[in-house]
Amino acid sequence: MKAAWFRPGIIATGLAVLVVLAAGYLADRQNSALYREQARAEVAESLSQLRTDMETRLYGSVQLIRGLVGVIASEPDIDQAKFSRIASRLLDGQSQIRNIAGAPNLVVELMHPLAGNEAVIGLDYMQNPDQRDAVVAAMELGTVVLAGPVDLVQGGSGFIVRYPVFVDRPDNAGTKPWGLIAAVIDVDQFFAQSGLLSEALPVQVALSGRDGVLSHNGVFFGEPDILNRDPVTAQVSLPAGGWQIAAIPQGGWQELPRDVWYFRAMLCAAGLLVVLPVGFAGYLHDQLRARSGKLSHRESEMRKLSQRLNLALETSKIGIWELDLDSGELRWDRRMKELYGVRQGESPDAVEHWINKLHPDDRPKAVAEFEEALESRDTYRSVFRIVPKAGTVRWIRTIGASHQDSDGRKIIIGVNWDVSEELQLKTELIEANQSTELRNLELEEARKQMEHNSLHDVLTGLPNRRFLDERVFGPDADVSPTALVHIDLDRFKQINDTLGHAAGDAMLVHAAQVLRQNTRGTDLVARVGGDEFVVVITNRVDEAWLERFAHRIITQMQKPVRYKDQTCRFGASIGITLADNDGAASNSQMLIDADLALYRAKRSGRNRYEFFDASLKAEIVSQKQLADEILTGLERQEFAPHFQPQFDANTLDITGVEAVARWNHPTRGTLAPSAFLEMAEELSVVHHIDRMILLKTLFQSKRWEAAGLAIPRKSVNVSAGHLNDPELMKLLHGLPIVPGELSFELLESIFLDDENETVSQNINSLSDLGIDIELDDFGTGHASIIGLLHLNPARLKIERRLVKPIVDCARQRKIVSSIIEIGKSLGIEVVAEGVETLEHVAVLRDLGCETLQGFALAKPMTTSELIEFANSEVWRQRAA
Ligand code: C2E
Ligand code: CA
Ligand code: CA
């Protein structure tokens, strides 16, 4: 876009302004110059008047004096009286000459008027330094000389006119100097008479050229400054020399003519007269141009629009029709004719033409819709089929609207386009949609099936654990049980192992059936694990009902089941929990409770049911507490050995000690293994206890050795877990073990349970370290003679339950005696445990048992007690 100032109108106006300004400026300057010239001419005129005046007056005075000079030339010896007479006559009416002096031989002798000037008589010019030079100059020049203005002796100032006088020599031989005539011209008078002092004088004047010497710059009349103010100058010619007269108008030069503003206003008006029409014309021109620019822009927009419209219509194959409502004339455009299969040359003339092209089936409806639109003048919309040519059918959609054109004719303009494909697509889409819906249904069905599968057990068809988690135990649970019954099949594992999985599966199906048959529709039977079931009971039930229910289940489960040609037997243990009346326990807590009850049922023998109750809960809480305390006890090393001495049966010397674990419980005092061993086993921490006891025993033995006590042997109890510890050997290698002084007591069962690699390796390594093996609680397990030989222990310890009855029962005595015999024959030492009375001591000694251990001789004790006990030898007195 061009800048606004670039418009030609503005440029033309600008130029006009420039021209007018320039012309105005020149005219103004011309005007000023003319004015100045005129002023100067006026001043010059005044000036020449003044000059003429001054010259006339001075020459007049000089003429007067010349007359006097003439008199003297003819009468050189003139006396004062005559001089005065002649002078007064000459000067009659001449006020500007103040006095005239005659000075023969340059000494003043004559004077007019004499009165007041007597003092001058006798003045010798040659003797007067003020006048000498001027007088000499006048005499030498031989012509009149004007001097001054000078300050006069009598006051005021004056010009002095000096006239040298020459007289004829008597012999007529030329002339000889007589002397001098000097006249004083009163300056003020002169100036006044010349008009210089007139108030009406239109100019200010400055005179310069003192003594008639033009080059004398000093101004002797008027303001010296006038010379600097561009004055008009002229020369006043004097009898000898001249003055310069300079003048400026009164009040100085006027810079501008008085009417300059009027002149300028006129100039401006004239300028405006030029600029305004030009500007207006330019503005009109610009407007015209802008408008024509917009017009052509609009035209091209229009062209583009119509091209686009055309393109759109062409590509979309939209036909346009127009119906003149007044004349009934129908006009179709080219595309319209193509749509309807009309040849380009021919043209439909009326609505009938269109009606003829309509498909017969759609005709009534299409015509009705059209007529209705005509009547209502509403937007016309319709869809119908046409038959462009025989055998083809097209779907047409039409939209029209009535309006009035610029000529005032009422017309309807509308468009038609082919929607056959669109409709085709639509029908296909609908069909596709229908089939998608069908597929979705199938998918939904499959999803439901999958969901059902994921929530049900395939084998029994019962709900599974996930089902329970979601519906009963989850946050969105919608089932509120009144009781939970947890059922676990007994001996099911054996069936699986011995008869195969198919048999196992059949039993599970059978069990599920038993449960279903014994529950109501409102109850929920679920299989929650391999052989575990849960029955969720939702009806109001009491304990008696549940007892009957559990009993029924157990009885029916115990009945033998035929599978193929096998008879299968299994049972069931049941844990039951009732919902609290206050509903405090959550559903998932109920499941835990039922599980605990089941656990108790299984522990107290199978085919039983147990209810969860407060005592069970308390038991569990205390068990939990015990477990926690054992773990912290281990950390705090609260487990320590007590030592029970073992004695030689014949000499009653102490031959060894067995270290037994004690727990120095922070609140409950010293606890024996029965209080913690079982739980420690459940926690799998017994081997930690064993290790602690072993280390502490080794340490304590140093104490009693230091106290002078010599006990040949100490033994510690070693659990299967400890023996199974791969770290055990590493530990033992780092300990100060003297071969033969330390034994490990092992239970028979360790060797029966498993033929463990680590265990047998460790046992071999033990003998390398010089650690003896003792077989603990011998006679209760199933150790075979072969196994015994294989293990090759240093000692057997006869279980105290076997020892206890030997005093009273000969048969029992016989068993113990046999064990002692076997030991002897295998070269294995025999230790009797549970030696509680002196009778025991005696019987065992008689039976040939080498070592005795029991309360009759000593109970387990601390190291300090052991030292004191050993030194006191109290047991000997008791036994004696
Ligand atoms: P045990 O190995 O048979 O240990 C002997 C137990 O018999 C000790 O019980 C001891 O106090 C008791 N006893 C000794 N003489 C008599 C008697 O004349 N009459 C009666 N009725 N009992 C007698 P304690 O200390 O309660 O130990 C019980 C069991 O705990 C031990 O039986 C042993 O199997 C186990 N045990 C003890 N300490 C440890 C240990 O450090 N580690 C392991 N793994 N087990 C240990
Ligand atoms: Ca033992
Ligand atoms: Ca024992």
Task: Locate the DSSP E strands across 463-529.
Answer: 483-490, 524-529
pLDDT value at residue 123:
84
The residue whose two tokens read 């791969």 is 726
- Shortest-distance ligand to the CA of residue 673: 1
Q: Is the pLDDT of residue 637 over 50?
A: yes
Q: What is the pTM of this model?
A: 0.46
CA of 737 to the centre of ligand 3 (A): 23
Please check whether residue 503 is in contact with residue 525, taking contact to mean a CB–CB distance below 8 angstroms.
no
774 CB within 6 A, ligand 1: no
Query: Where residue 273 falls among pLDDT bands split at 50, 70, 90?
Result: confident
Within 75-206, where are the H helices? 80-90, 132-141, 187-193
Identify whether the C-beta of residue 120 lies closer than 8 Å to the C-beta of residue 111.
yes
Distance 673 CA to ligand 3 centre (A): 12
Please determine, for residue 752, whether its predicted confidence score (pLDDT) is greater than 70: no
Q: Is 279 in the pocket of ligand 1 (CB under 6 A)?
A: no
Q: How far is the CA of 818 from the centre of ligand 2 (A)?
A: 21
Neighbours of ion ligand 2 (CB under 5 A): 717, 745, 776
Per the omega criterion (within 30 degrees of 0), is the bond before 113 cis? Answer: yes
Q: Is the pLDDT of residue 304 over 60?
A: yes
Nearest atom within ligand 1 for CA of residue 745? 2
The number of angstroms, rounded, from the C-alpha of 299 to the middle of its chain's C-alpha atoms is: 50
Burial class (CB in 10 A: 0-12, 13-18, 19+), 188: middle
Amino acid 95: pLDDT: 66
Q: Which residues pair with 112 in a beta bridge?
A: 100
Which ligand 1 atom is the nearest neighbour of the CA of 835?
Answer: 18
pLDDT exceeds cutoff 60 at 754: no
Residue 776 CB less than 6 A away from ligand 1: yes
From 638, 639, 660, give the residue whose CB has the most ligand 1 atoms within 8 Å, as the site to mutate: 660
Q: Which of 368, 371, 422 minimizes the C-alpha distance to 395?
A: 422
- Average pLDDT, integer, range 211-217: 75
- Check if the beta carbon of residue 400 is closer than 8 Å to that of residue 411: no
**686: Cβ below 6 Å to ligand 1?**
yes
Query: Which residue's CA is the closest to the ligand 1 atom numbered 37?
Result: 660
Find the Cα–Cα–Cα–Cα dihedral 164, 93, 156, 224, rounded to 10°.
-90
Mean pLDDT score, 395-422: 87
Q: Give pLDDT, residue 584.
A: 57
CB of 690 shorter than 6 A to ligand 1: yes
Is the confidence at residue 801, as pLDDT, over 50?
yes
Q: Is the CB of 750 under 6 A from ligand 1?
A: no
Cα 834 to ligand 2 centroid, rounded to whole Å: 11
Task: For residue 833, give the ligand 1 atom closest to its CA.
Answer: 15
Helix axes 492-499, 501-517, angle to 10 degrees: 140
Q: How far apart are CA 314 and CA 308, in angstroms?
A: 9
What pLDDT sits at residue 153?
67
Give the pLDDT of residue 816. Answer: 95
- Interatomic CA distance for residues 795 and 740, integer angstroms: 12
Distance 830 CA to ligand 1 centre (A): 17
Question: How many Å lie between the centroid of ligand 3 and the Cα of residue 538?
Answer: 53
Residues in a beta bridge with 63: none
> Between 712 and 72, whose confidence is greater?
712
Choosing from 679, 717, 795 the residue with most ligand 1 atoms within 8 A of its CB, the one to mutate for a pocket test is: 717
Q: Identify residue 577 by its one-letter amino acid code.
A: T
Which whole number is the average pLDDT over 214-237?
83
Note residues around ion ligand 3 (Cβ under 5 angstroms): 776-777, 833
State how far the Cα of 802 lies from the Cα of 485, in Å rounded to an integer: 44
Within 100-171, residue ranges assigned H as helices are 132-141
State whether the beta carbon of 748 lies less than 6 angstroms from ligand 1.
no
Distance 805 CA to ligand 2 centre (A): 20
Quick one: pLDDT at residue 531?
92
Sign of the torsion angle spanned by Cα atoms 219, 221, 227, 229: positive
Confidence of residue 1 (pLDDT cuts 50, 70, 90): very low
Which one is predicted more confidently, 99 or 92?
Answer: 99
**How far apart are the CA of 741 and the centre of ligand 2, in A?**
16
Identify whether the C-beta of residue 90 lies closer than 8 Å to the C-beta of residue 99. Answer: no
Out of 163-177, 284-298, 316-330, 713-727, which region has the weakest mean confidence (pLDDT)? 163-177
Report, as an integer, the average pLDDT of 36-60.
86
* Ligand showing the shortest atom-to-Cα distance for residue 852: 1
Does ligand 1 come within 6 angstroms of the Cβ of 837? no
Distance (Å) from CA 823 to ligand 3 centroid? 17
Cβ of 717 closer than 6 Å to ligand 1, yes or no, is yes
For ligand 3, the distance from its centroid to the CA atom of residue 777, given in whole angstroms, is: 4
CB 860 near ligand 1, within 6 Å: yes
Structure-token match 């002096």, residue found: 101
Pseudo-torsion of CA 18, 23, 28, 29, nearest 10°? 100
- The pLDDT value recorded for residue 23 is 86
Residue with tokens 């310890």: 797
Measured distance CA(590)–CA(376) in Å, rounded: 78
Share of the chain above pLDDT 70, in %: 97
Closest atom of ligand 1 to 661 CA is 38
Cα–Cα distance, 456 to 791 (Å, whole number) = 54
Average pLDDT across the chain, whole number: 87
Atom 42 (ligand 1): residue with closest C-alpha?
Answer: 717
**In sequence order, what DSSP letters do the residues of 393-440 get, joined into one string?**
-EEEEEEEEEEE-TTS-EEEEEEEEE-HHHHHHHHHHHHHHHHHHHHH
What's the average model confidence in pLDDT over 236-262? 81
Residue 834 CB less than 6 A away from ligand 1? yes
Q: Is the CB of 55 under 6 A from ligand 1?
A: no
Question: Looking at residue 516, what is its pLDDT?
Answer: 94
| Ligand 1 atom nearest to CA at 674 | 26
Q: Which atom of ligand 1 is nearest to the CA of 777?
A: 3
How many angstroms does the Cα of residue 80 sit away from the middle of ligand 1? 195
- What confidence tier does 783 reach under pLDDT thresholds 50, 70, 90? low
Burial 514-528 (b: 16+ CB within 10 A, else e): bbeebbeeebbbbbb
Over residues 2-37, the pLDDT tens digits come to 455 577 788 888 888 888 889 888 988 888 888 888
| Residue 753 scores a pLDDT above 60 | no
**Is 660 a pocket residue for ligand 1 (Cβ < 6 Å)?**
yes
Of 540, 548, 525, nearest to 482 by C-alpha is 540
CA 788 to ligand 3 centroid distance, Å: 17
Answer whether 181's CB lies under 8 Å from 163's CB: yes
**Smallest CA separation from ligand 1 atom 19, residue:** 834
pLDDT band at 788 (very low <50, low <70, confident <90, very high): confident
Which numbered ligand comes closest to the C-alpha of 646?
1
Cβ–Cβ under 8 Å, residues 633 and 692: no
